[in-house]
Structure 1
Amino acid sequence: MAAQVVWKYRESAEEEPKEWATLVQFSNGKLTNSENVEFRLHKNINKNNPRKKNQLILSAETDRMTYIGNNFGLSALKCNSLCKYFVGVENISTGKMEVHNAQLFNMQPFFPGDSVAEEDTNEKQASYRDKVDSLIEAFGTVKQKHALNSRRMNRVGNETLQEAVAKAAENIIDKKGLSALTNEATQFESQERSVYLPPCHADAQKPEDVYKFEDLISTTEYQAIRPSCESLKISTAEEAEKLAQTGNYSSFVLESLKSLPHDEESRDHKIHCLFYLQILIRLHNLKKHEFKHKGSLGSDVADVVKVSLMKKFTVLTYNNGCVQNIMPISMKAKIVAFIIALALHINHFQIDLTYLQQDLKISVNRILDIARAMRLQVTKKKVNVPGGGAEDRKIATLSLPLALQSRVRGNKRKKMS
């Protein structure tokens, strides 16, 4: 008949983890001889913190190596918090078995110089770059060590510069005040944007004084284009058709020629403005390589006008040993703004932006942004087109008081979904 064994659970050991049975496993192999191993159990002495009072560290020392294991931190086994383990010890003489609480320790090799205590969770752990730098510092070549020292010096320099900038900013804020700095920044932004827009007189009493005509065309330019304007003096539908077939004039100019005033002086003035506006459209649509050619604006444009336009709407740059004129995006926006302002004078301060948008070969949003930055009121209007249909047109109107100022958006790349 088999012997009967009685189990007995030791409840007194439930509250003292250091009295629990200890089960260990070694991460780098199995322990073949336990007689030459000395185990020591260390308990956290911080009893005020309930989270630390049960923290234990188990050390195992052999002749060749020391092993460390703990029941807390990142290196602790997760099973200790998920499962409950017991160890039964049988007393052969009495036939009873005492059941003890048990916990598992994962023993890992310990090398001198390593920290036994777990880092505080609030402290930043060493990054991969810091570990690589430590290896370079210990075992790297001379070239690698020089590169490491240079990078560390640059990092120190950048930190010093950032501290100096931050301190200077704090001193300026303390001296001037945040509201004064905000006003200065707004004023500077307004001045910077005004460089790319025609001079605006927001306090003007009449629409024609908001963007003054003399700020758009100088007297010298106005006189210089007089001989070339003869080609636009048409009186019949046949002459208008021949002018359109040449391909030298935009749809806005051709459309405006259909409604010339009967008064000779007003008629000549409008023709001068339309010719100058056509020159601005040509300048805007020039390709990059066409700036090198002297006659790129056309043989009907006087040299005085060419020089003035290049000075006003291009930027000088030094490339391949020579000075060249280039037209960045900001200058193209400036030309569009001057074209809109001049078109307002031509068409009684209300223009169809759709014609200009198509002539300038820019997007609708681009020309709307510039028009709103010029404080124009933009509306939508349905217009009948040949063929019996209707399409939406963007109408810009200059009316007093001026609309609220809007920001000109940059040439941002479209985000791909």
Structure 2
Amino acid sequence: MFPPDEDDKISKPVLTKRKCVIEDVIMRNTRKVEPLFVTFANGQPVEGAHLSGTLHQNITRDRRHQHKRILEIETPGLNYDGTNFGKEVSSLSAKQSVFLGILNKATGKMRLIETSSYCVHPVLESTKTTKALLKKSSDLLTFAEKQEAITSAFGSKRAQQSVNRRKLYQVNAQNMSVAIDQATSSVTLDPTYLEVSQEDKTILAILPECNRKASRPEDVYQLESIAPDNFLAYMEDSARELLDGKDPDPKSTLLFKELLAVAKLEEDEENQVRLTCLALYVEYLVTFLNMKGRDIQHMKVKDKNLQGCPPMIKRHILDEYTHNHLNKRVRSSQNEDRAMCCAMVLSLIASKYQLSLSTLLSSLMVTRDKLNTLMKVVGATYVTAKNSYVLKIPLAKLAKPFKKGGPKKRK
């Protein structure tokens, strides 16, 4: 064989590096639409394909579900849909963030925009038929229904009697459910019961994602849903400096110092860094809560407030726990409660589900009564012997809201 000529060689594209200045970084926001990266599970679009996409968002008041979106794409022959939640989320969007860079060649500056990734699947409808024998195909039957059909046709006499008995019980159960529905529809509910359940929903709305039916304290709150690793990574450099021996800021709260001490006791280096990042985020939240309202009104990401806080973390805190009113940032009482509950939940996770009462009172600008109320909302119980709040199963019952006026006097 002869070596190929130079003209036959396929020239490979040469990648050139370009230096630029990151002018601005725009993070995802539940109130806005970001650029989308869409992949198709069964192929890729051909040139000239006519695609029409619609993005649907959950608009409930529950902030835990406002991030959920459904993408629908219509084509002349087949429709597709995909979500950014559930088991079908692509691994790309679940483990890391993807940014779209827009470069201004004239100035050499670039804007980074966080994107979302969707993997859409074809929507297949059941085959329509007019034949009565094909309407209930064997493919649509469950395994139990197929077993019953075989037993009814070919089974022994005792097996056939057992199948007939089960069908009879199913009919009786349906009749019983109808009777129960009729009975419950005639019952008049006390309006106070509905008010209590609505109050419970309002109280739980200030919490991060919570599983109050969990059987272990570790399962009540999931760190990955509140502060995932890609979020904590923005504080990794500061965390490693503290672990390498750098002294914390003299103005640091006692809560931060205790959480840092707990993190240093971890044997695994990765857990040390993660818990130290968690302690830093709690410290930024506490600093934000201790700020006065007038200092927040004109607060921006590039301000000196929250000194040392990475811009991404500061932007997240402002977007999550303030809102704009008459061109000013406002931190409402509900925002304060949400931020404080988040700080308490993360502190409980970082401190192995136990927090000292004196540490919390010295670090947070909060009264003892308000602290007790919020801790009950979180699910922690005050243990007198330890002078601490402990997250244990069963969780503490929700605190009932205080009603002014007291009991009515009898006339």
TM-score (norm 2): 0.48
Larger radius of gyration: 1
TM-score (norm 1): 0.47
